[in-house]
Amino acid sequence: MAFEPPPRLVRALAETNGADDWLRGLPDAVDGAVGRLGLDVERVQVPGGRSSLVVLVRRADGSPAVLKLIPPRSRPASERVALAHWHGLGAAQLLESEPSAGEGVLLLERLNPDVSVRTLPEAKALLEGAATLRRLWVEPPAGHVFETVEERTGRQAEAMRASVAGPDDEAAGLVDTALGLRADLLADPPERLLLHGTFRQSKVLGGERMPWLAVGPDPVVGECAFDLARLVRDRVEDLIAMPSGAATTRRRVKRLAESLEVDRERLRGWTVFRAVESGLRARRVGRDRDADWLLEFATWL
């Protein structure tokens, strides 16, 4: 199959190490997966995602599906195990449980890529997003090898420390605050459940089997507030543009915490940590506007 990877994917992977070889091998990888699974290709989904290639296909019986190819750094094996464990409850259904077409290849239920929760008005989007997320919070499978919140944020904390140029760096105070919050939150977590890991409104798509289903998890095991924290800052560009952005953000924390029975202060703490971590990561790769938005957002909490 001759094609060019979507520009959005190429730009995103340019921020990571070791992605060039994976991108160069994509056409052959798609051809191999299509042949092994007996699929007919319709088209590559554009603009697609930032961390994987999505190809719209049909199975041998004519039913629609999605072929997803994931680079090794994005932990495709963990995504496969999580989707199999959820078994379609709250997330897209995994159609092939064994990696017969390759470890980084998933065959999934096809959803509507043009209809996400993000297309809804804000209040409705938060409601539907939260309801979908709640379905994913289940006990992890026995003997799981998922990363824990402590492990993932530990790696992130090291990168955050290394990103600060010194005490005069304007982000230094925020980093100290975020790392202090992390330490307090990890001291006594209230639960250890399977989490989506990278949940946001754009990762909840319309479906036929259920109205809304999540896609693209980077699963992790830990407390629910960690997962919900990413939803708090959805549409951050709109929040920044609003005169009442700070007050609106604090209301979001309160509303989401109450609706999902999550401790409000724990949600606030993880929201700060994740916003600062994302802001510094954006700054490291030259996305200065995103970095400024995220770091300002963190000061509101």
Name the phi and psi angles at 41, rounded to 5: -85, 135
Distance, first Cα to last Cα, the chain: 49
The whole-angstrom separation of Cα 121 and Cα 123 is 6
Pick the CATH number of 7-110 from 3.30.200.20, 3.40.50.300, 2.60.40.1930, 1.10.10.10: 3.30.200.20
Greatest Cα-to-Cα distance within the chain, rounded to the nearest angstrom: 63
The whole-angstrom separation of Cα 275 and Cα 281 is 10
pLDDT of residue 279: 97
Q: Distance of CA 293 to CAs 11, 83, 126, 225, 238, Å? A: 20, 32, 20, 22, 10
User: How much is the mean pLDDT over the chain?
Assistant: 93
pLDDT tens-digit series, residues 22-69: 888 999 999 999 999 999 999 999 888 888 999 999 999 999 999 999
Q: Is the pLDDT of residue 101 over 70?
A: no
The CATH number of the structural domain formed by 115-299 is: 3.90.1200.10
- Residue spans of the domains in the chain: they are 7-110, 115-299
pLDDT of residue 145: 87
What six digits make up the tokens of 26?
């994509």
pLDDT of residue 18: 64
pLDDT of residue 166: 82
Q: Is the pLDDT of residue 100 over 70?
A: no
Mean pLDDT computed over 62-84: 94
Facing residues of 182 across strands? none
Kindly report the pTM of this predicted structure: 0.94
Q: Are 132 and 77 in contact (CB under 8 A)?
A: no
What six digits make up the tokens of 132?
């979908």
The whole-angstrom separation of Cα 90 and Cα 137 is 10
pLDDT band of residue 165 (cuts 50, 70, 90) is: confident
% of residues, the chain, pLDDT over 90: 80
pLDDT tens-digit series, residues 107-150: 999 999 889 999 999 889 999 999 999 999 999 999 998 999 99
In terms of Cα–Cα distance, which of 240, 289, 249, 244 is closest to 272? 249
pLDDT of residue 103: 79
SS3 148: strand
Mean pLDDT computed over 259-271: 97
pLDDT band of residue 16 (cuts 50, 70, 90) is: confident
